[in-house]
């Protein structure tokens, strides 16, 4: 079995702890991909010290040249797309068509970042005084700690690291324990594209062993975290105490609303993809379906038939629609929520158990599940399950649907199926989410638009698009007075108007 290493101080290195963990294929737990470092505080210390040196060098490289490195990264990811998709499916389970999309998102993000090297705009504005120049520009921050989840093993690290690097920061990257192979290949590609070795560090391991020391390290000036709201709270508290800049992208409980005038066929296709794609393990997964009472029964009948027809299996096999859950803990969590749903009196329409059959015996599979008659406010309706479980809520009006959508602690994504253009625009205004889709499911963000959520999904920052470049840079203002005399802001003025 292959033993993998960290990348610290410009070389592939064994962990100081001497400990390792197995990376297991969730579709077949007898398939071990390799042993990866279970690193500790000492590895983090070395990585941060090296990243500081890398930062001093990298910050001086002009931004367009930094962008050129990222363009080459995009080229290399394009060349290796199929190989990366396959190894990603092997370690986390989602079907190949989805992991190909994951790689493509990384490629799109690379090319966007490359061109941003020639923008990275500041402002030049008129000064209050003559012969004085006033402008703002952007500076790198320092060492960035990058902590990522398992469900988009390449796309999410690229959302963070490309803008961080383009802005001139160095990165210490801690991928999720379930996807260390994709993280390793990503760092190999960065290096192959010409990124100076100390600018990126890769430290594998657990949240407590590596994530926490990284967040606590005084020389790490900025933390970008994506993961659960529970972990995000710990990360946020630590960063608050240490006065660190922190971006938190966390959980979701996203709803699709289908009203009586919605295109039913389109909505059926949308909800199948939104609820069961990535086995429901997307922060943007459609985990609630809010149906108008006039179409409720008809819609559900058809949805249950189509859900039962989904092909569950190994994501690397042709024809698979839904792969396994990422690990045993995820499977157990879904099982607990089936009990919660039943105890709350919801109607289990399909699924609710692991599939039966030899081809499922070695993996963490769970049948796509639908609960109907779910009460607004119940645990099933409120809590993030992160699995293939859809809760259906029946409503009598658009107003009630909007209220149900908004009455959760999360606020990532929402979706409305209607042909009423006025209502569609009302939804943009009134649904409390970072993203609202009209006539499309709750998933499908594009790399060049800001991405993130409100309430307990996020802390106000956005990834993707142009906004993330503000997060990874400091705004500095420069005033140059070439009048040759003392000019006093707010006191002197050009026309000499009397006081």
Q: Which is nearer to ligand NAD, 254 or 405 (CB)?
A: 254
Q: Which is nearer to ligand NAD, 279 or 457 (CB)?
A: 457
Residues that bind ligand NAD (rule: CB under 6 A) add up to a total of: 30
Angle at 48 between CA 46 and CA 52, to 5 degrees: 120
* 369 in contact with ligand NAD (CB under 6 A): no
* 8 A C-beta contact, residue 404 and residue 393: yes
* Span from 27-35, 86-94, 131-139, 226-234 in contact with ligand NAD (CB under 6 A): 226-234
Q: Which is nearer to ligand NAD, 246 or 423 (CB)?
A: 246
- In the range 374-393, which residues lie near ligand NAD by CB under 6 A? 384, 386
Nearest to 68 by CA among 165, 209, 202, 180: 165
Going by their DSSP bridges, the two strands 254-258 and 286-292 should be labelled as parallel
* 413 in contact with ligand NAD (CB under 6 A): no
What end-to-end distance do the CA atoms of the chain give, in Å?
82
| Six token digits for residue 326 | 């990422």
* 8 A C-beta contact, residue 334 and residue 364: no
Write out the DSSP string of 422-488.
HHHHHHHHHS-SSEEEESS-S----TTS-B--EETTBSS--BSTTTHHHHTEEEEEEEEE-SSS---
Binding mask 170-199 for ligand NAD (x = CB under 6 A): ----x-xx----------------------
* 82 in contact with ligand NAD (CB under 6 A): no
Nearest to 337 by CA among 324, 326, 346: 346
* Span from 40-48, 84-92, 94-102, 145-153 in contact with ligand NAD (CB under 6 A): 145-153
* 279 in contact with ligand NAD (CB under 6 A): no
Q: Which is nearer to ligand NAD, 325 or 395 (CB)?
A: 325
* Span from 86-94, 142-150, 422-430, 477-485 in contact with ligand NAD (CB under 6 A): 142-150
State the minimum distance, in angstroms, from the CB of residue 375 to ligand NAD: 23
Going by their DSSP bridges, the two strands 132-140 and 473-481 should be labelled as antiparallel
* 158 in contact with ligand NAD (CB under 6 A): no
State the minimum distance, in angstroms, from the CB of residue 186 to ligand NAD: 14
State the minimum distance, in angstroms, from the CB of residue 65 to ligand NAD: 30
Q: Which is nearer to ligand NAD, 286 or 487 (CB)?
A: 286
d(CA 17, CA 390): 42
b (16+ CB within 10 A) / e for 24-41: bbbbbbeeebbbbbbbbb
* 15 in contact with ligand NAD (CB under 6 A): no
Give the Å distances, CA to CA, from 278 to 96, 274, 282: 10, 9, 6
* 323 in contact with ligand NAD (CB under 6 A): no
- In the range 445-484, which residues lie near ligand NAD by CB under 6 A? 453, 457
* 8 A C-beta contact, residue 225 and residue 247: yes
Residue 162's DSSP bridge partners are: none
State the minimum distance, in angstroms, from the CB of residue 433 to ligand NAD: 11
In this chain, which of 40, 101, 168, 227 binds ligand NAD, going by CB under 6 A? 227
* Span from 184-192, 205-213, 258-266, 347-355 in contact with ligand NAD (CB under 6 A): 205-213
d(CA 256, CA 283): 14
Residues assigned a catalytic role = 249, 283
* Span from 79-87, 127-135, 162-170, 224-232 in contact with ligand NAD (CB under 6 A): 224-232
Residues 6+ apart with CB under 8 A from 89: 95, 96, 99, 315, 316, 323
State the minimum distance, in angstroms, from the CB of residue 237 to ligand NAD: 10
State the minimum distance, in angstroms, from the CB of residue 93 to ligand NAD: 13
In this chain, which of 208, 297, 328, 446 binds ligand NAD, going by CB under 6 A? 208
Q: Which is nearer to ligand NAD, 127 or 228 (CB)?
A: 228
Cα 66 off chain centre by: 24
d(CA 114, CA 110): 6
* 8 A C-beta contact, residue 27 and residue 313: yes
Going by their DSSP bridges, the two strands 454-455 and 435-438 should be labelled as unpaired
In this chain, which of 103, 143, 147, 372 binds ligand NAD, going by CB under 6 A? 147
User: Exposed (0-12), middle (13-18) or buried (19+): which is 339, by Cβ within 10 Å?
Assistant: exposed
Q: Which is nearer to ligand NAD, 70 or 283 (CB)?
A: 283
State the minimum distance, in angstroms, from the CB of residue 241 to ligand NAD: 13
In this chain, which of 17, 29, 127, 228 binds ligand NAD, going by CB under 6 A? 228
Residues 6+ apart with CB under 8 A from 1: 32, 34, 35
* 251 in contact with ligand NAD (CB under 6 A): yes
* 8 A C-beta contact, residue 414 and residue 257: yes
* 337 in contact with ligand NAD (CB under 6 A): no
User: Exposed (0-12), middle (13-18) or buried (19+): which is 280, by Cβ within 10 Å?
Assistant: buried
Q: Which is nearer to ligand NAD, 456 or 487 (CB)?
A: 456
Q: Which is nearer to ligand NAD, 143 or 212 (CB)?
A: 212
Judged by the rule CB under 6 A, the positions of this chain that interact with ligand NAD are: 147-151, 174, 176-177, 206-208, 211-212, 215, 226-228, 231, 234-235, 249-252, 283, 384, 386, 412, 453, 457
């Amino acid at each position: 079995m292959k033993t993998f290493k960290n990348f610290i101080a410009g070389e592939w290195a064994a962990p100081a702890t001497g400990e390792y963990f197995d990376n297991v294929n969730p579709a077949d737990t007898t398939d071990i991909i390799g042993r990866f470092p279970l690193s500790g505080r000492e590895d983090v210390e070395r990585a941060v010290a090296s990243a500081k040196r890398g930062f001093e060098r990298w910050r001086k490289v002009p931004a367009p040249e930094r962008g050129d490195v990222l363009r080459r990264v995009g080229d290399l990811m394009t060349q290796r797309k199929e190989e990366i998709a396959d190894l990603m499916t092997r370690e986390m389970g989602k079907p190949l068509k989805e992991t190909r999309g994951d790689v493509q998102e990384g490629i799109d993000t690379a090319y966007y970042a490359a061109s941003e090297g020639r923008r990275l705009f500041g402002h030049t504005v008129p000064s209050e005084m003559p012969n004085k120049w006033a402008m703002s520009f952007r500076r790198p921050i320092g060492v960035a700690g990058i902590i990522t989840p398992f469900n988009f093993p390449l796309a999410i690290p690229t959302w963070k690291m490309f803008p961080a690097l383009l802005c001139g920061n160095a990165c210490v990257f801690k991928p999720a324990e379930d996807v260390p192979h994709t993280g390793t290949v990503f760092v190999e590609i960065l290096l192959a594209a010409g990124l100076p070795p100390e600018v990126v560090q890769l430290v594998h391991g657990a949240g407590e062993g590596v994530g926490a020391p990284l967040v606590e390290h005084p020389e790490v000036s900025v933390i970008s975290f994506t993961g659960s709201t529970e972990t995000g709270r710990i990360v946020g508290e630590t960063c608050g105490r240490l006065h660190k800049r922190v971006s938190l992208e966390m959980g979701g409980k996203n709803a699709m609303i289908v009203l009586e005038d919605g295109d039913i066929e389109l909505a059926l296709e949308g909800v199948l993809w939104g609820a069961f794609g990535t086995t429901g393990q997307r922060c943007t997964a459609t985990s609630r379906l809010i149906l108008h009472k006039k179409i409720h029964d008809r819609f559900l009948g058809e949805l249950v038939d189509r859900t039962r027809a989904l092909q569950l299996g190994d994501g690397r096999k042709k024809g698979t629609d839904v792969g396994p859950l990422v690990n045993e803990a995820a499977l157990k969590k879904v099982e607990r929520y089936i009990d919660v749903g039943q105890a709350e009196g919801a109607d289990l329409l399909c699924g609710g158990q692991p599939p039966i059959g030899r081809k499922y015996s070695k993996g963490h599979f769970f049948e796509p599940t639908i609960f109907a008659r779910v009460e607004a406010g119940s645990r099933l309706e409120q809590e993030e399950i992160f699995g293939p479980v859809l809760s259906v809520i029946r409503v009598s009006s658009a107003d009630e649907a909007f209220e149900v959508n908004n009455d959760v602690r999360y606020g990532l994504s929402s979706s409305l199926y209607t042909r009423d253009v006025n209502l569609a625009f009302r939804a943009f205004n009134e649904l409390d989410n970072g993203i609202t889709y009209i006539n499309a499911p709750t998933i499908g963000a594009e790399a060049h638009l800001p991405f993130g959520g409100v309430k307990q999904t996020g802390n106000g920052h956005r990834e993707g698009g142009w906004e993330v470049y503000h997060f990874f840079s400091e705004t500095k203002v420069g005033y140059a007075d070439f009048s040759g005399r003392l000019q006093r802001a707010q006191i002197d003025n050009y026309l000499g108007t009397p006081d």
